[in-house]
Amino acid sequence: MNRKVSAITTDTFPNEMRTSLGRNLTYGLLDVIGRGIVIGEYDNVAFPTEAELARKHGVSRAVTREAVKMLTAKGLLSARPRQGTIIQPQSSWNLFDSDVLHWLLERKFSVELLRHFNQLRVAIEPEAAALAAMQATEQECAAMGAGLARMVAAEAGADNTLAADIAFHVAVLEGSGNPFYKQFRDMVASALATSIHFTNRIKGRTASIEDHRAVYDAILRRDSDGARCAMRRLIGDVLELIGEAEATASA
């Protein structure tokens, strides 16, 4: 396995490439450049040209162009002849792309972003719970129950707290029967994974199980408004904690 030595090789990016099935140079470069943009690596310097990017990372221009095109599709870049490739204002980044969100949450951790995201969750998830109460199938309800059961098991150390929490919230979103809500699957998973350390540090999750169960029970008895309120309370609590943390940090 003696290939040309390059900054980015197929080996450089093994398993953690959550982007579809890719573990090839293009996806590697996509990840490196994307993360670089989000971190702010190019904030005070002109973004490199295709040729420079290719040379710097030791890959061909074709690979570079494909990675750049993918980042363009995600709203991070735009390219024009003679002007070069430039970073788009953050307002046009596609935050609902799980790659972009992942990069954002991964960087120097921003409580503000976490608050913004949970301000979104407090809109989305209660409504999803309400929809789920109206039309979730038995299977979908069973998935929620399983998630809850895992949370209880995790309490006793028999399962992973984070994975259980995610499983429950994802199950509710799936139960909504609405493809837009279902899209939040990856986002919520990504964000919870990042924020769990944060929220855990502030407050034990012991009380949380009961809150989750309240959502679950309401959905089971087809109580749409009850499910909405319970879920809103659940996420509202998280939001409150974040607000307090922000206030403490700035004080």
Partner DNA sequence: GTTTACGTAATTATCATATCTATCTGACTT
Partner DNA sequence: AAGTCAGATAGATATGATAATTACGTAAAC
Q: How far apart are CA 230 and CA 122, in angstroms?
A: 11
- Is residue 10 within the footprint of its own copies (CB under 8 A)? no
**From its own copies, DNA, none, interface partner of 108 (C-beta below 5 to 8 A by class):** none
Q: Which is nearer to its own copies, 106 or 158 (CB)?
A: 106
Q: Which is nearer to its own copies, 88 or 160 (CB)?
A: 88
The mark string for 78-117 relative to DNA (x by CB under 7 A, - otherwise) is -xxxxxxx--------------------------------
Site for its own copies in 171-200 (CB under 8 A): 178-183
Tell the smallest beta-carbon distance from residue 41 to DNA (Å): 16
Candidate list 18, 40, 41, 61; residue touching DNA; CB under 7 A: 61
DSSP per-residue letters across the chain: ------SS-GGGS-S---STT--SHHHHHHHHHHHHHHHTTTTTSPPPPHHHHHHHHT--HHHHHHHHHHHHHTTSEEEETTTEEEEPPGGGS-TTSHHHHHHHHHSS--HHHHHHHHHHHHHHHHHHHHHHHHH--HHHHHHHHHHHHHHHHHHTTSS-HHHHHHHHHHHHHHHT--HHHHTHHHHHHHHHHHHHHHHHHHS-SHHHHHHHHHHHHHHHTT-HHHHHHHHHHHHHHHHHHHHHHHHHHH-
Q: Which is nearer to its own copies, 91 or 206 (CB)?
A: 91
Q: Which is nearer to DNA, 52 or 246 (CB)?
A: 52
- Is residue 241 within the footprint of DNA (CB under 7 A)? no
The C-alpha R_g of the chain, in whole angstroms, comes to: 21
Candidate list 6, 49, 110, 119; residue touching its own copies; CB under 8 A: 119
**From its own copies, DNA, none, interface partner of 91 (C-beta below 5 to 8 A by class):** its own copies
Residues that bind its own copies (CB under 8 A): 20-21, 26, 62, 65-66, 69-74, 78, 80, 90-91, 94-97, 116-117, 119-120, 122-124, 126-128, 131, 178-183
Residues that bind DNA (CB under 7 A): 1, 3-4, 6, 10, 21-22, 24-26, 49-51, 58-63, 65-66, 68, 79-85
